């Protein structure tokens, strides 16, 4: 026996031992997987997808179109068949010639297929091309359906695309060359690690599959996230009020209070120091307060929009006035908190309460006549399911909200991360934004249905008026000076609808800024990054398209432009204020307790 033979035997024994160890791990993980899946909550069909009525209507309309206009449909079918057959023949011809190379590839570029084997390997290239041809055929078939109203067509287009995205060959191990190559390179270790990641996610979420997007061990609130110095100076059953420590000798006399959405936690505006809007605002000389909402449990079942206004907004504003010894504050509302701020301002107008000097709205909808991309989830089939869910449990669990928003960007927030974690066994990245995205909150039953029915579906605030706090409030009664920032690619609060809502407000002093990027990145856009630009146009009487066409493009963040607007409405400079006063002792250091313990 030679030295090489001995080395081969050792290597072979090592590989066998490694394989046996991996098989033992797989067996153990499989048992844990089955146990975790058995704990999964039952999810009502209305929360799983659109009503079957949508597909029945689509099928009926398609058949009607086939009868009335067969030539068009046959033409599209023949085009699809022709491309598929031509591709198959070209691939077979190359193989018959002994050439292991793909045929001509005229399919569009798609970042899901960035790995080189999708272009160079004939097997994987064939699968990719056929998938993209099939996807285009499905999209064309949907567009061919004409006997549907615009809302039904939008929903059919969206949910058909969801099915197409789900069936991408990248989502399946046998047809994902990158995952297969890694499995071979690691002797299957990547697949075992992926199974461990899958089991860990299922166990962490009681059997519900929620892909971990960020390394949860990499962040801790108050240590490397939400680190701007400040203190909790007031607390009730709805919120903690945080006042931030000044960093300038003097500050503007009018304090600034920020109302973040209670669909998520407030520290999206205070992630790392480099991208913290709160830290930046403090550095500009503002006395900054923020509301940290309680994360409700079933005991908050009957908490309504009126409670958020009376026990949230109005009390918070009053406490800020007391702490700072002023008669007026400036207020910011982000997303649903901006919607509710507009309701509050209309109510204050009725009550002759002038406590808010000026208001800022971040990605806020007040006119829901066009609900944008998220509108596919706001029809009766889904909302009926949500109403049944919250009636039974008292809350809309954060699981449902997170899943809904993730499916609006499924390739980025579901399939892509799942491939990396479960097929390739990679650990999630230490990404602050994605960590925040996974730190969800619940919604009270009463409030959720009021919002979905009265505002989103019935658009009452922008039309007949919305009932809240024992009265009816109207959008025209939002009359304080205002600045609204919308985001160009926002998939949650469509910027055109945001603009339309601002147009309907009664304020004479209106500023509208359109930031590039989306719902989060367009807002959390510090000047230091010099990343996304923004558009302005002072003519608010124009149609939304005319406003955009005539708008001036500016490089860089909108933050300094907002500062220039806000500073003019914040009064003279006064000595800096430390958090709290004799009647508002420090209850806890920022970021407080509600954001951590709930």
DSSP notation for 472-505: EE-GGG--S-EEEEEETT-SSS-HHHHHHHHHHS
Active site residue 335: yes
Active-site annotation holder among 335, 446, 469, 487? 335
- What pTM does this model have? 0.90
Q: Which tokens is 376 given?
A: 């596919």
92: enclosing H helix or E strand: helix 70-96
Q: What is the reported pLDDT for 497?
A: 96
Please measure the distance between the N-terminal and C-terminal CA atoms of the chain and give it in whole angstroms.
67
For residue 296, give both structure tokens.
């409700």
pLDDT (tens digit, 0 to 9) for every residue of the chain, 598 residues total?
454 544 454 455 556 667 677 767 877 888 888 888 888 777 777 777 777 777 676 677 666 666 566 666 566 666 766 677 777 677 677 777 777 788 888 889 999 999 999 999 999 999 999 999 999 998 988 888 887 888 888 888 988 999 899 999 999 999 999 999 998 888 888 989 999 999 999 888 888 888 999 998 999 999 999 999 999 999 999 999 999 999 999 999 999 999 999 999 999 999 999 999 999 999 999 999 999 999 999 999 999 999 999 999 999 999 999 999 999 999 999 999 999 999 999 999 999 999 999 999 999 999 999 888 888 888 888 899 999 999 999 999 988 888 888 888 888 888 999 999 999 999 999 999 999 998 989 999 999 999 999 999 999 999 999 999 999 999 999 999 999 999 999 999 999 999 999 999 999 999 999 999 999 999 999 999 888 999 999 999 999 999 999 999 999 999 999 999 999 999 999 999 999 999 999 999 999 999 997 5
Q: 466 phi and psi, to 5 degrees? A: -115, 130
The per-residue pLDDT for 396 is: 94
The pLDDT of residue 544 is 97
Q: Which of 112, 117, 115, 81 is nearest to 102 (CA)?
A: 117
Phi and psi torsions of 535, nearest 5°: -120, 145
**Alpha helices (runs of H) in 150-309, residue ranges in sequence order:** 150-166, 177-185, 189-204, 277-283, 305-307
Q: How high is the pLDDT of residue 74?
A: 64
Predicted local confidence at residue 4, as pLDDT: 52
Domain borders along the chain are 47-185, 230-355+370-470+558-597
419-446 burial code (b ≥16 CB/10 A, e <16): bbbbbbbbebeeebebbbbbbbbbbbbb
Q: CA of 482: how far to CAs of 287, 459, 502, 574, in Å? A: 19, 21, 9, 24
pLDDT at 3: 46
CA–CA distance, 208 with 38 (Å, rounded to integer): 10
The Cα-based distances of 413 to 96, 366, 377, 514 in angstroms read: 42, 27, 17, 25
Among 598, 593, 597, which Cα is nearest to 233's?
593
What pLDDT is attached to residue 152?
87
Per this entry, what is the length of the chain? Answer: 598
What is the pairing mode between strands 230-235 and 588-589? Answer: antiparallel
Annotate 337-367 with DSSP letters as a single string: HHHHHHHHHHHHHHHT---EEEEEEES--S-
Report the CATH fold assignment for 230-355+370-470+558-597: Rossmann fold (3.40.50)
């Amino acid at each position: 026996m030679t030295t090489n033979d001995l080395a081969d035997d050792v290597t072979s024994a090592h590989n066998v031992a490694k394989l046996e160890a991996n098989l033992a791990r797989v067996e153990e993980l499989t048992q844990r997987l089955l146990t975790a899946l058995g704990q999964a909550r039952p999810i009502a069909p209305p929360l799983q997808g659109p009503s079957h009525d949508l597909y029945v209507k689509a099928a009926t309309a398609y058949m009607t179109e086939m009868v009335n206009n067969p030539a068009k449909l046959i033409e599209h079918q023949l085009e699809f068949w022709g491309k598929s057959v031509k591709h198959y023949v070209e691939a077979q011809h190359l193989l018959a010639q002994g050439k292991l190379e793909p045929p001509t590839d005229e399919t569009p570029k798609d970042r899901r297929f960035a790995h080189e084997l999708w272009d160079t390997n004939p097997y994987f290239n064939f699968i990719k091309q056929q998938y993209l041809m099939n996807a285009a055929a499905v999209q064309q078939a949907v567009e061919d359906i004409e006997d549907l109203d615009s809302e039904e067509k939008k929903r059919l287009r969206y949910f058909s695309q969801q099915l197409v995205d789900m069936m991408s060959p990248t989502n399946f191990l046998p047809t994902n060359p990158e995952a297969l190559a890694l499995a071979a390179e690691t002797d299957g270790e990547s697949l075992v690690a992926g199974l461990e990641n899958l089991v860990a996610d299922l166990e962490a979420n009681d059997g519900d599959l929620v892909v971990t997007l960020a390394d949860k061990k990499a962040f801790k609130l108050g240590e490397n996230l939400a680190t701007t110095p400040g203190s909790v100076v007031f607390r009730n059953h709805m919120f903690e009020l945080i006042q931030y420590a000044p960093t300038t000798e003097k500050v503007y006399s009018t304090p600034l209070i920020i109302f973040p959405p209670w669909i998520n936690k407030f520290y999206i505006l205070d992630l790392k120091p480099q991208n913290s809007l709160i830290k930046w605002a403090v550095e500009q000389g503002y006395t900054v307060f923020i509301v940290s909402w309680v994360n409700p449990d079933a005991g908050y079942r009957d908490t309504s929009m009126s409670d958020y206004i009376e026990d949230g907004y109005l009390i918070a504003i009053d406490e800020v006035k007391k702490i700072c010894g002023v008669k007026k504050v400036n207020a910011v509302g982000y997303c649903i908190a901006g919607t509710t701020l507009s309701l509050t301002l209309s109510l204050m107008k009725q009550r002759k309460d002038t406590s808010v000097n000026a208001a800022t709205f971040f990605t806020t909808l007040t006119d829901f006549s066009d609900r944008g991309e998220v509108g596919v989830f706001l029809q009766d089939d889904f909302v009926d399911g949500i109403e049944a869910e919250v009636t039974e449990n008292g809350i809309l669990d954060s699981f449902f909200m997170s899943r809904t928003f993730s499916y609006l960007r499924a390739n980025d927030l579901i399939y892509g991360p799942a491939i990396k974690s479960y097929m390739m066994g990679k650990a999630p990245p230490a990404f602050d934004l994605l960590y925040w995205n996974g730190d969800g909150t619940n919604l009270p039953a009463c409030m959720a249905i009021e919002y979905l029915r009265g505002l989103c579906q019935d658009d009452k605030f922008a039309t007949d008026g919305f009932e809240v706090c024992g009265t009816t409030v109207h959008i025209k009664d939002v009359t304080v000076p205002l600045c609204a920032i919308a985001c160009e690619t926002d998939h949650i609060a469509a910027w055109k609808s945001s603009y339309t809502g601002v147009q309907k407000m009664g304020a004479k002093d209106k500023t509208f800024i359109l930031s590039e990027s989306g719902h989060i990145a367009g807002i959390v856009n510090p000047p230091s990054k010099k990343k996304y630009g923004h558009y302005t146009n002072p003519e608010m009487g124009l149609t939304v398209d005319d406003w955009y066409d005539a708008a001036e493009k500016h490089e860089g963040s909108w933050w300094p432009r907002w500062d220039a607007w806000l500073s003019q409405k914040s009064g003279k400079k006064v000595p800096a204020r430390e958090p709290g006063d004799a009647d508002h002792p420090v209850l806890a250091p920022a970021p407080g307790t509600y954001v951590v313990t709930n």
